[in-house]
Structure 1
Amino acid sequence: MGSPRRKSPRNGWESGARSPPTWPTARPRWTCTAASSASRKPEGPGRRVEEVPMPEKVRVGLIGAGFVGHIHARAYRRITDLDVDIAAVAAVPLAQAEALAREFGIRDAYEDYRRILDRDDINLVDLSVPNHLHEPFALEAAQAGKHIICEKPLTGYFGGPGAADPVGATPKHLMLKEALASADRMIAAAERHGVKLMYAENWLYCPAVQKALRLAQASGGTILEIRAQECHSGSHASYAKAWKFAGGGSLVRLAPHPIGCALYFKQQEGLRRDGKPIEVASVMAEAGDLSKIPSFQAEPEKWLVADWQDVENWCTIIMTFTDGSRALIQASDIVLGGMEDTLQIMLSNARIDCNMTHSGMVMAFAPAEHVFADEYIMEKLNTKAGWSYPSVDEEWLLGYPQEIRDFVEAVAFDRDPLAGAHLGREVVKVIYAAYQSAEEGRRISLQGV
């Protein structure tokens, strides 16, 4: 199974520790390849050429064959200059795994994910499964010696001792404690078994976000405020509507993107200026299920998802950082017109706006729904009639291929990914502190948490 695996340097907190992690460099490194590195020449007499190790073969076991599983499979297929291959896929029911295997030419399809963990030739496991399975699957994968890609959120609270019925009624301070304990168990298991736990936060890899980060760094200014949101008309996945499977509502499904991005920008600003990351000091939030408004429930036709169980479909968060700056985060399932992913950076000497979904590269008008037939327009668009913003390459603009390439390179060249597990833990901390704030109606301090 390739070259012997080496234990990577610890990149962050040990379980239970409270010292800040060492965050990866902001500059993405997914453009580095063995071929390009080997072709470098000395720049002067006596200049030593940096030796680049031969990359390890990357054999992927894809666990989950739903919406995200297909996105990841397409991203692996784009990598043509590294030795990477999806060796097997597992999903329930088996027919779902077999369908994805046929589509992407994957040799083996299983119903039991443990068939993947038992294979010696597979060294990277990609978890594209419902949220409540992230921790147990990651712990088993680490014990089996597999590197791990875990979708967002890294983990959460799904019930257990002290849980209410329904789970969403559990006191949120208990949820915060247990969700962080779950994240710490995952990180500790990866470190103990010498494998990488990589956090699939595609926003960090969006071309627009990476450009915004370089612009912010070039300006040398202070980031005073970040405004970021992900909004659409709601998830139709049945598991997303119940806390015991999803771990929450829009705060867990949508907010991780803007929260993670805000955290990363402030971390990088602190590292650049002071040599240490700027962290979140406190969180305030409001959250609720706006589909429960009686007049909406009485409407005969529903354009928005309306059958949420014990989770919220709207939230607003104010993150206060240790330097006094703020981030305003919104995540909502009550927005028509297609998915909205936006980021605004307000600096002391500049302003940067990113629109990852309504880019305006292409605009199209159709007088009726059927005009564009089966041609894809954009995610969560309710109708093709009228004006629309067809995405040129939606997955590339949202950073999915770049994200997967970074993770493959991290395994192949034994280096840290741009998005690691400690960022995932920080996102979980903000999410469940926001739930506690919304429930208790007060600011929640996160210093020392």
Structure 2
Amino acid sequence: MTSKPTLGVGMVGYAFMGQAHSQAWRTVNAAFDLPYAVDMAAIAGRSEDKVKAAAEKFGWRSYETDWRALVERDDIGLVDVCSPGGNHAEVAIAALAAGKHVLCEKPLANTVEEAREMVKAAEAAAQNGVRSMVGFNYRRVPAAAFARQLVLDGKLGAIRHVRAVYLQDWITDPEFPLVWRLKKEEAGSGALGDIASHIVDLTQFVTGQTITGVSGLTETFVKERPLVASTEGLRGTGSSERGEVTVDDAALFIARLSGGAVATYEATRFATGRRNGLRIELNGEKGSLVFDLERLNELELYLSDDDAGTQGFRRILVTEPEHPYMSAWWPAGHIIGWEHSFTHEAYDLVTAIAAGTDPAPTFADGLQVQQVLDAVERSAESGSGWIPTTDNS
């Protein structure tokens, strides 16, 4: 048997997203027939005790306390950026310049300017066969990918309305500490960049349309919080000192899409009782479609040409082997989970690298999402109403 070439992966960051991505890199070799043998070469983080423990727990064979050392290693061909958005640009640009393929978590950057620099670096690296991708993992949920197929096959006809919400409640307690996600210098924005970016990308992916203009508002409900004493994942404890929250807690906006649809978007981390409630609904001239992340193996589909006597929303269980990605997993009817979307992401990236093609979403796609977020933020700050998404000068 001919042995496969090895693709060494190095990851920057070891917290919540680092754990999710580690699960993907551990699993992808077993789930799919890859053109490379993926080697989990090294993980990087600033705290030696924590990154060493993460390496042992998540299955990395070594660790670094400086991401620059990781980027320079000869046994690493791909750098997975899972750190906070404040250093996405620095790490990704350095990795691309070193000839490493890059997977960068969403949102691509904290600002449009940083995202543009990352796109320039990606385009330059692509001339030498180096690939880059943004980690919008919800594209890789089989039901969401199947929804895109249904739309592009014309099952719904022309899309007229899009509704998208992403509802969480993990910071409703005003005594929840001031973690990095609540600091603009580290996170860029709050609910807007953290979770609205997901529904922006997902609705554009499923509809095949892009957002051309927005009018939005944002709100910060809790202005000050305790400084961090300790954190673990999305949980934390606070100290006696307090600091200012510098990002939004909620963002809402209306939008127009390039194919003529109108849309509403809502993202909040203050929806009490909602842990991770992402839902999109598309209404077209011939039918409607619903994807709900809390039922991620299912779609709801309504077709207007069904018999009137039995017409209604039908439940589609997206677990058949002909559905996207599902042939890699279990017999029909045996559902998969949230973590599988990251494994599919790793599979798509490694396959594209081997084929010499650009994986999607590209850094240019990430920039486009960043422009939408920036337009929402500028509309909310100015109160001036409609902002085109390409006017970011």
TM-score category (smaller protein): 0.7 to 0.9
User: Tell me, what secondary structure is at the counterpart of 1:310?
Assistant: coil
Residue in structure 2 matched with residue 170 of structure 1 by the alignment: none
Residue in structure 2 matched with residue 180 of structure 1 by the alignment: 112
Residue in structure 1 matched with residue 269 of structure 2 by the alignment: 333
Residue in structure 2 matched with residue 109 of structure 1 by the alignment: 63
Q: Which of 192, 200, 205 does residue 135 from structure 2 map onto?
A: 200
Distance in 2, matches of 1:336 and 1:289, equals 15
Give the conservation status (yes or no) of the 8 Å contact 1:229–1:258.
yes
1:356 aligns with 2:293: yes
Residue in structure 1 matched with residue 187 of structure 2 by the alignment: 246
1:65 aligns with 2:14: yes
Give the conservation status (yes or no) of the 8 Å contact 2:251–2:267.
yes
1:126 is displaced (CA, Å) by: 0.2
1:393 is displaced (CA, Å) by: 4.6
Cα pair distance change 1:154/1:56, threshold 3 Å: farther
Residue in structure 1 matched with residue 24 of structure 2 by the alignment: 75
> RMSD of the alignment, in Å?
2.6
1:263 is displaced (CA, Å) by: 2.0
Distance in 2, matches of 1:256 and 1:237, equals 21
Paired letter, 2:38 = V
1:313 is displaced (CA, Å) by: 0.5
Residue in structure 1 matched with residue 311 of structure 2 by the alignment: none
Q: Which of 140, 147, 152 does residue 217 from structure 1 map onto?
A: 152
Give the conservation status (yes or no) of the 8 Å contact 1:56–1:413.
no
1:416 aligns with 2:351: no
1:150 aligns with 2:89: no
Residue in structure 2 matched with residue 369 of structure 1 by the alignment: none
Residue in structure 2 matched with residue 233 of structure 1 by the alignment: 169
Give the conservation status (yes or no) of the 8 Å contact 2:103–2:132.
yes
1:56 is displaced (CA, Å) by: 5.0
User: Tell me, what secondary structure is at the counterpart of 1:290?
Assistant: coil
1:367-426 CA-partner distances (Å, limit 9, x unpaired): xxxxxxxxxxxxxxxxxxxxxxxxx753246x2221122112222332221321111111
Cα pair distance change 1:359/1:146, threshold 3 Å: closer
TM-score (norm 2): 0.76
Give the conservation status (yes or no) of the 8 Å contact 1:340–1:358.
no
Q: Which of 367, 379, 388 does residue 445 from structure 1 map onto?
A: 388
Q: Which of 289, 296, 300 does residue 220 from structure 2 map onto?
A: 289
Distance in 2, matches of 1:287 and 1:339, equals 19
Q: Which of 404, 408, 411 does residue 346 from structure 2 map onto?
A: 404
More strand by share: 2
Cα pair distance change 1:105/1:237, threshold 3 Å: farther
Paired letter, 2:210 = E
Distance in 1, matches of 2:61 and 2:136, equals 28
1:292 is displaced (CA, Å) by: 5.3
Runs (5+) with no aligned partner, structure 1: 1-34, 36-53, 157-178, 269-277, 294-304, 362-391
1:55 is displaced (CA, Å) by: 6.9
Give the conservation status (yes or no) of the 8 Å contact 1:250–1:333.
yes
Give the conservation status (yes or no) of the 8 Å contact 2:223–2:245.
no
Cα pair distance change 1:237/1:114, threshold 3 Å: farther
User: Tell me, what secondary structure is at the counterpart of 1:341?
Assistant: strand
1:257 aligns with 2:189: no
Over 6 Å off, 4+ runs: 305-308
Residue in structure 1 matched with residue 279 of structure 2 by the alignment: 342
Paired letter, 1:350 = G
Give the conservation status (yes or no) of the 8 Å contact 1:357–1:394.
no
Cα pair distance change 1:74/1:358, threshold 3 Å: same
1:256-282 CA-partner distances (Å, limit 9, x unpaired): 10001122234x3xxxxxxxxx43321
Distance in 1, matches of 2:107 and 2:11, equals 18
1:189 aligns with 2:121: yes
Paired letter, 2:221 = L
1:332 is displaced (CA, Å) by: 0.3
TM-score (norm 1): 0.67
Residue in structure 2 matched with residue 300 of structure 1 by the alignment: none
1:293-318 CA-partner distances (Å, limit 9, x unpaired): 9xxxxxxxxxxx99861111111111
User: Tell me, what secondary structure is at the counterpart of 1:255?
Assistant: helix
Distance in 2, matches of 1:400 and 1:408, equals 12
State which structure, 1 or 2, has the greater radius of gyration over its C-alpha atoms.
Answer: 1
User: Tell me, what secondary structure is at the counterpart of 2:338?
Assistant: helix
Distance in 2, matches of 1:220 and 1:346, equals 7
Give the conservation status (yes or no) of the 8 Å contact 2:167–2:277.
yes
Give the conservation status (yes or no) of the 8 Å contact 1:232–1:333.
yes
Runs (5+) with no aligned partner, structure 2: 172-176, 225-237, 299-334
Distance in 2, matches of 1:97 and 1:77, equals 17
